[in-house]
Structure 1
Amino acid sequence: MSQLLLPLTLINLCAFACFALSSFGIYREWFGRAPGTRTSLILKLSGALLLFASALLSANHQHWGLGILLWLGNLTMTALFIALLQSLKELRGQTQKRRQQSR
């Protein structure tokens, strides 16, 4: 089971990244322009397919009952990891602003 957690987490991270990049604000922050309608749709479909693939991988490895439970738990932990990274990014930005203001 432990050999499944890393690939499952990476697939879920990629899926969440696709969903995030399909939004206007994050895509613009990273690439300097808004995503086109087609680009946004492709990113959303990619994210959905990656989530489906990770669910199938988990279910194939642990059978449907335990596999889906494992997948949902991993999905939750991946989302918490992303939320933690986002809060640390905001905290770092606030710290840098305070340093600039104190100079």
Structure 2
Amino acid sequence: MEEILPQSKAINPDYVTDSTSDSPPISDGENSDNKENYKADETRKKKGKSTGIEDLEERESQKKFELEEKELIQQYELEKSKLEIERLRAENEMLKFRKNNE
């Protein structure tokens, strides 16, 4: 190692370089930063995938809720219409009864 360092392009002894390489030297600190960044990127990607799945599940749940709500509103409107028809029939019967009694 002592023989390699004087031959290398490294100014800082923390750097390890290959004299045949044209790329700039990478320190141990930079290398560990790269590893941490890679791990952070992988974690972010995994979270992105799980978030995508969670978003799909949330959208599906929201759609189910909206469909159930729509169905309940339709049932309410149907019952309301039935009651209105029943009220109109009763009113009609009452008018017929009054007409017959005059």
TM-score, reference length from structure 1: 0.39
Q: Pick the structure with more helix per residue.
A: 1
Q: Which has the higher contact order (CA 8 A, sep 6+)?
A: 1
TM-score, reference length from structure 2: 0.40
